[in-house]
Structure 1
């Protein structure tokens, strides 16, 4: 898939909307996680998104494609959504949305590292330096977590680790998809993986389902996270991938923390420190170098 020469007016509004939706997902996940817990939060969000995308899959007559590739598609679900969403739900119960979203920006960093190890992708000096720089930014960011790093149950250290486990899973999922699902339509891969994640999380979600009924506010937050921040966001992402190419679409990762931090400040009274912003810039620069985006020519 190559990039097209679309004028910026034809793709930037959707690009910003996608970043807004994914940036706001941390806010809604946090609201849901405190009422539901980590596994139920992830399961509700994923299942709602799968239910919304399935009619689109049927309308596009791609159900037969899913049937042909059901094993790798469903298997990728836990890496693509199940484990990451549960990890982020857990993290958001212990650290703020801004920090979580900045750590999420390391996704392409792990993607580049795993593609080098697993698929033998080229890792030149620039990309290697990017990996080192990006991971340095993560260490610096984690070293100044409010309240200090603690690896006790519920501590901020475990929350940071949970975020990195999530992005590591995304990195594995990227290489897994490239190897086993490269020629499968994106909507098929996403819908199938969401159902695979939903099935995989069903038992953990039921075992940890809250004894006290969650409020309508919590249900509403997860409804928005599932229907808008997951299902609709993926549709927008497919459209951007098709119209602008994967390289440009992937850079949305760098804009997500802007909205996540903005919403955190506006609605949760979170504080964004200069240290957080400095570390975020280091992580983004390292990720851009490691993923090979720096130096590519983008037109439009």
Structure 2
């Protein structure tokens, strides 16, 4: 990629990696549901003029029902689940569990759309879920004070993303991505409006919490979506999706530097297994290419 696109790629990873930090700060003051509701509402307000000026408003209106629905399972519910998890587990572990989205995406596409993965990709699914098990078994304590529900919340959020991806492929193909991106935030906002008002904290939130939720909405959602679709257009979806591998790196770094979170060998090892599985399952690493290169090199 050209240097400019590389810089945008790194910026996207940095923004999405920081979302866990901001959501943790906001969730402590607003609670998980209100944090998610505020994040999507802020992002929707920022993206509204963008989608209108870009000429995609009519496309959004024509497919409003399905776009609004996908927003609830692709933004509203998973944002709330991650905000809940961040009250109990580290930002680094949350980001690593978030990196399982391509694994669940491949599994859902197989079960729902009939997209059977090739042998090596199936091996990647198995390897990735082994990594998740290694990461989770020490954390999955459901006794009082345990973090088992937080781990399950992260995995449930990953499943939501996976379902949304297959739903989009089945019902929203051909719709301008910006219409889907903006409309999904509107749908998530509508879906979380009543729960957000119902769970609104009795005590006023402080300035830091408001700044955190604003950053999550404006930077980590609205701006990140704009960068994401720009990169897909300029560099292609396959290269853009490799951002998945950098998000945990940034999240772990932020957590260690700003929150004094420990980086344990177990987390690094389990996270590496997860990312290796994701790389195989998504085709980023394909052993068949190595074999073809060796055969080509052996030719006279």
TM (norm. structure 2) is 0.93
Q: Looking at CA atoms only, which structure, 1 or 2, has the larger radius of gyration?
A: 2
Output one character per residue of 1:228-287: Cα deviation in whole Å (capped at 9) or x when no partner: 011000000000010111111111011000110101011100001111011111001111
Q: Are 2:216 and 1:222 aligned?
A: no
Aligned match for 2:272, one of 278, 281, 286: 281
Counterpart position of 2:134: 140
- How far apart are 1:144 and its partner, in Å? 2.7
* Structure 1 residue aligned with 2:36: 42
The CA distance in 2 between the partners of 1:246 and 1:144, in whole Å, is 35
Deviation at 1:206, TM superposition (A): 1.0
Task: Give the secondary structure class of the aligned counterpart of 2:25.
Answer: helix
Stretch deviating more after TM superposition (283-292 or 165-174): 283-292
| C-alpha distance in 1 between matches for 2:116 and 2:149 | 32
Correspondence 1:74-153 to 2 at 5 A: 74-145=68-139, 149-152=140-143
* Equivalent in 171, 178, 183 of residue 174 of structure 2: 183
Once residues 166 and 173 of structure 2 are traced to their aligned partners in structure 1, the CA distance between those partners, rounded to angstroms, is: 10
TM-score by length of 1: 0.93
Task: Give the Cα–Cα distance (whole angstroms) in 2 for the partners of residues 153 and 195 of structure 1.
Answer: 37
1:78 Cα deviation (Å)? Answer: 1.2
Distance 2:146 2:36 in 1: 20
Counterpart position of 2:46: 52
Aligned pair partner of 2:26 in 14, 26, 32: 32
Equivalent residue number for residue 243 of structure 2: 252
Distance in 1 of aligned mates of 2:33 and 2:58: 30
What are the superposed Cα offsets for residues 149-202 of structure 1, whole Å, 9 maximum, x if unpaired? Answer: 322466310000000000000000000000111101111001111111111011
Query: Is 1:13 matched up with 2:4?
Result: no
Where does residue 207 of structure 1 map in the other structure?
Answer: 198
Distance, in Å, in 2 between the alignment partners of 1:227 and 1:42 is 13
Report the alpha carbon displacement of residue 10 of structure 1 after superposing the two structures with TM.
Answer: 3.4
Whole-Å Cα distance in 2 between the matches of residues 76 and 151 of structure 1? 31
Asked whether the equivalents of residues 132 and 286 of structure 1 are also in contact (C-alpha less than 8 Å), the reply is yes
Cα contact 1:152–1:158 (8 A) shared by 2: no
| Number of the residue aligned with 1:4 | none
The residue number in structure 2 matching 1:236 is: 227
Q: Distance in 2 between matches of 1:244 and 1:229?
A: 20
Q: Structure 1: give runs of 5+ residues left out of the alignment.
A: 1-6
CA RMSD of aligned residues (A): 1.3
Deviation, 1:24, is 0.5
CA offset digits 1:73-130 (Å, max 9, x no partner) = 0010111101100000000001010000000000111001101111111312211111
Displacement of 1:8 in angstroms is: 3.5
Displaced runs of 4 or more, over 4 A: none
Question: Equivalent of 1:272, from 250, 259, 263?
Answer: 263
1:35-85 CA-to-partner distances (Å, cap 9, x unmatched) read 010100000011000000010011111111111110110010111101100
